[in-house]
Amino acid sequence: MPGSTPPAAGGVVAAHDVEARAPVSGGAARRRRRRRYQIKELQRALYESEAEALQRDYEEFKAPDVDGDDKISIYEFGAYIQNYMKAYPHIPERDYPTFADFDKNGDGTVTFKEWQHYLQQQKKDAKGSTKQSQAAIADLSGKAEQSQSFQQLYEKLKAAS
């Protein structure tokens, strides 16, 4: 067509090109504006949530940083873990992370970046174990559905007598 924009390479027309050329009714335009507004609101909420999580992580990181140098030494870490163990005596010592768990580059200090990396790894590991638990529950549920109910077993025993 003369005066029209040619399609993208390969004859494929991008969705935004079709939208731009298609006549839009008042209702469709309102729905599209509402959808864009909802997307922006969701993006804003996600950004705020991530910012709050980052702030919480930083505050947690600063707790053992006694000298305020934005690094946690092995001594600061040890004191922090000892205090934590006193506050939560029901948690076995083997479940507490070690300094080496955080100090991935082995320089003798833990930076906020290393702290975050450890926390992210813990979240990732927790998601994996949750998926494994869900799969195990689904498997048990499936086996339970295949088995006979107590009433059926009782009736078979009663009939066999």
Q: What is the mean pLDDT of residues 142-157?
A: 66
Q: What are the tokens at 107? A: 């320089």
| Model confidence at 5: pLDDT above 90 | no
Highest mean pLDDT among 47-56, 63-72, 145-154: 63-72
Q: What integer pLDDT is reported at residue 127 of this predicted model? A: 76
Where does 64-134 show beta strands of DSSP type E?
A: 72-73, 109-110
Can you tell me the distance from the alpha carbon of 54 to that of 39, in angstroms, rounded to the nearest whole number? Answer: 22
Cβ partners under 8 Å of residue 76, min gap 6: 64, 65, 66, 67
Phi-psi region of 68 (alpha: psi -120 to 50; beta: other; left: phi over 0): left
Domain boundaries, the chain: 47-135
The fold of 47-135 is Recoverin; domain 1 (1.10.238)
Highest mean pLDDT among 6-20, 37-51, 145-159: 37-51
What are 55-100's pLDDT values in tens digits? Answer: 998 999 999 999 999 999 999 999 999 998 999 999 998 888 999 9
